[in-house]
Structure 1
């Protein structure tokens, strides 16, 4: 059994993942991601709180990856928090730990962006403008 709870906070959006994220349940994550995307630019980062996630297969990872690009287009990021050891090991083996921002908990995931005011999502219009200013 899998569930996703979408929690809107002042700092951003939290997707609380519970249970087994796999081929059967990835549609729930896709739908929750669409809800987070609907909030649009300026809504802050999306933190996937994985502390209660028991399992994640390649379909679940694919659902997370599919959420990253449209968030980047909005100037937002996806951060993972509380990733269980077995899933963290899978990320390390496959190199996904270099793609996903992984943090020990929700608080640290939200705090991660505070010190990087000048950073913007790669591929966004803002990043192109920043690169242009830096090259001038």
Structure 2
């Protein structure tokens, strides 16, 4: 069973993922993401809290990348938090650890000021930003 709990915070929104993010469940992340993208610029960061994520397949990765690009087009950032070791390894093998800003927990991700550490989708603002990794 998979779920996305959406929690609005002062500095942005947190999507708390629970269960297996795969082909059958990815629609729930798409729906939550579509609602958030519709809010447009100025609505703060979107933090995907992965503490309860037990599995992620290529469909889940695709959904996270799509959300990343959709938010970047609205001048917003996607940050990941509490990524479990099995999923972190998948990100490392695929190079996505160089794409996503990863934080120890949702609080740290919300508190981040973005000072050049948040990744932006290529071509969205014409500038390159450092690809530094955050402490996990």
TM-score by length of 2: 0.84
Q: d(CA) in 2 for partners of 1:110 and 1:121?
A: 17
Equivalent position SS for 1:116 = coil
Map of 1:74 onto structure 2: 74
Structure 2 residue runs without a partner (length 5+): 129-136
- Rg larger in structure: 1
The answer to whether the 8 Å contact 1:75/1:120 transfers is no
RMSD of aligned Cα (Å): 2.0
Alpha-carbon distance, 1:111 to partner: 2.3
Runs of 4+ more than 4 Å apart = 119-122
Q: Are positions 1:26 and 2:26 aligned together?
A: yes
Structure 1 residue runs without a partner (length 5+): 132-136
Which is richer in helix? 1
Map of 2:115 onto structure 1: 116
Equivalent position SS for 2:6 = strand
Q: Are positions 1:5 and 2:5 aligned together?
A: yes
The answer to whether the 8 Å contact 1:45/1:79 transfers is yes
Alpha-carbon distance, 1:121 to partner: 4.2
Alpha-carbon distance, 1:10 to partner: 1.3
Alpha-carbon distance, 1:83 to partner: 0.5
How many residues are treated as equivalent by the alignment? Answer: 126
Alpha-carbon distance, 1:116 to partner: 1.6
The answer to whether the 8 Å contact 2:83/2:102 transfers is yes
Equivalent position SS for 1:86 = helix
Moved more, 17-26 or 65-74: 65-74
TM-score by length of 1: 0.84
